[in-house]
Amino acid sequence: MLSSLGSNSDAMIQAVIFDLDGVIADTVELYYIATKRIADEIGVPFDRRLNQQLQGMSRQAMVEALLGEKAGEWTKEEKVKLGERRGMYYRELIEQLTPHNILPGMYSLLQHIRNDGVPVALASSSSNAFTVVERLGVRSFFDVIVDVKTITQLKPNPEIFLTAANELGVDPRDCIAIEDGEAGIQAIKQAGMFSVGIGKHLAPLSPDWLVERTEQVTWEQLKRMFLKKRTTPLM
């Protein structure tokens, strides 16, 4: 029970903002499969480490990173078509998604946040975010889903997280944001939000709370960590 900490801890949390892929949706592997298919077609190396680094990037930034030293050999139009083909491969894969593809602990977390009346937003760089949350059966949990098409600068720029806070009508400093991508954690930090990082690969970025797996992020523990951060004197 967190009641011993008082309701002040709950009141300070004005919103929780989620990334989608690798946080709520078990889709990072689908991105890997779709991108690896493209990489094999054009003859460039690609592995899961690079796949993780690409999470949260725009489609065209992903293409540039995938091509690497060969990027100069491709025209802008060819790169656009490459990104579109990868998007097509990914959309074919997400058609198979069901609620079973929600990552461990995330449905329960969303339920508990909703039960406490704390607003929830989704800040995903994926153009398929609306489709994914519908297929996972979690659309009703979100008060706001930021339309990535309205965002001019994607992660690591904080715009998408700041937009989520603005649409909810809350102060970014009173928000918790949860990410599994390096670019996403950088964006959250720039937005001035409490950052929760999922995955050991994020340790060098020093999120406010780092866990290895999604099921470790419970609502009670999340409130405790947020309160601890708020009450720790600055050195």
Taking CA atoms, 63 is separated from 39, 175, 232, in Å, by 10, 32, 42
| CATH superfamily, domain at 3-26+100-231 | HAD superfamily/HAD-like (3.40.50.1000)
Q: Give dist(CA 161, CA 171) in Å, integer.
A: 11
Structure tokens at 83: 């990104």
Q: Where in the chain is the domain with CATH 1.10.150.240?
A: 28-94
Lowest mean pLDDT among 9-13, 35-39, 84-88: 9-13
pLDDT for 3 beyond 90: no
- 176 three-class SS: strand
Say what the pTM is. 0.84
pLDDT at 7 (0 to 100): 42
**Average confidence (pLDDT) over 200-224:** 97
**Active site amino acids:** 19, 21
Q: Where in the chain is the domain with CATH 3.40.50.1000?
A: 3-26+100-231
Architecture of domain 28-94: Orthogonal Bundle (1.10)
Taking CA atoms, 190 is separated from 67, 162, 174, in Å, by 28, 10, 14
Q: Which helix (H) or strand (E) holds 30?
A: helix 28-42
- In 19-131 the beta strands, taken as DSSP E runs, fall at 120-122
Q: Give dist(CA 56, CA 48) in Å, integer.
A: 15
- 39 three-class SS: helix
Q: Give dist(CA 99, CA 89) in Å, integer.
A: 21
The letter for the amino acid at 215 is E
